[in-house]
Amino acid sequence: MVFRGLRGGLAVALFTVCCLYNQATLAQPPAKALELVVLGSGGPGATGRAGAGYLVLIDGDPRILVDAGPGTFVRVGEAHLSLEDTDIVLLTHLHVDHASGIAGLFKARAVSGAEHTVFNVWGPAGSGAHRRGAYFPSTSQFMDLLFGSHGAFAYLREFASPLDIRAHNIPAAAAYPAAVQIIFDSGDIVIKAVAGHHSDAPAIIYRIEHAGRSITFSGDIDAHGLAGLRAIAQGSDLLVFNSVVRDPPGSRSVLYELHTPPRAIGEIARDAGVGHLLLSHLSPAVEAHRQEVLESIRENYARPVDFAEDGLRVSP
């Protein structure tokens, strides 16, 4: 009788645990098919925001890193996200505020427990000296300068797990008509790219598609990059657009050689038929005049518009 009582009590306990487990499981929302986490929504200034950077989650799993500005390493930890399965990196261009955090993020990936770390990295081809004297390496050269056998962080190749970096250079000369190309296609994930234009810095615009949803990243582009953006962003569910300047003459004239003003942002979003516009890479000038910027965009674009914040999650 004592044995039967214990057996009955154990059954009740197990039944209770199962019920609680099922309730907890049901209480957890299902993973979004495609989700964006903003790691950095700031620009080159020290404004308290991390530099440009985003993680794209595929069915709840962080897979794709888009840009890696300063501070993005910290934001990954704050978001409690693991980089263990992150294996795709898309660099819009190689300015400091978009690419200087990549070494820290690669190290975080290398110590995540994986036996073999593989990164497929896409970014712009390089350029010769510009009229201002600036030189930009290709993405493959950039990776070699950081992680090659004589690179600044060569030790990372064997630091925690073998680090395999496969760099791909994308032609970055803006052309008309814009030449959109598929750079990755795994069957369920498709990534497209087209040349942008960011004054002297070679720049690339990206579009990620999964489960019938899509996100497009403008990167930093000026007026010469808008044709490529219009072509690649058609019908995109979410367009992440870098917003640095006010409409002329609200910002310094030199900045219009690098960035797109709000009125033109609204026109592009309308013409491309995007479903949601997220303004990121925000400058102090845009921060201080949010309502003015929004009203200018609203002259041409009536769908949802939001300003990015570090840590923001968006599902297109």
Give 70-94 pLDDT, tens digit per residue: 999 999 999 999 999 999 999 999 9
Do 1 and 96 fall into the same domain? no
pTM reported for the whole predicted model: 0.88
Confidence of residue 14 (pLDDT cuts 50, 70, 90): very low
> Are residues 100 and 153 located together in one domain of the fold?
yes
Do 2 and 38 lie in one domain? The reply is: no
Q: Kindly state whether residues 25 and 62 are assigned to the same domain.
A: no
CATH number, domain of 297, equals: 3.60.15.10
Residues 16 and 53 in one domain: no
pLDDT: is 228 or 252 the higher one? 228
Do 25 and 152 reside in the same domain of the chain? no
Q: What residues make up the domain containing 18?
A: 1-30
pLDDT tens digits, one per residue of 263-291:
999 999 999 999 999 999 999 999 999 99
Q: Examine the domain organization and report whether 289 and 188 are in the same domain.
A: yes
Average pLDDT, the chain: 87
215 in the same domain as 93: yes
3-state secondary structure the chain: CHHHHHHHHHHHHHHHHHHHHHHHHHHCCCCCCEEEEEEECECCCCCCCCCCEEEEEECCEEEEEEEECCCHHHHHHHCCCCCCCCCEEECCCCCHHHHCCHHHHHHHHHCCCCCCEEEEEEEECCECCCCCCCCECCHHHHHHHHHCCCCCCHHHHHCCCCEEEEEEEECCCCCCCCCCEEEEECCCEEEEEEECCECCECCEEEEEEECCEEEEECCCCCHHHHHHHHHHCCCCCEEEEECCCCCCCCCCHHHHHCCCCHHHHHHHHHHHCCCCEEEECECHHHHHCHHHHHHHHHCCCCCCEEECCCCCEECC
What's residue 298's pLDDT? 97
Residues 5 and 142 in one domain: no
The domain tally of the chain equals 2
Residues 54 and 194 in one domain: yes
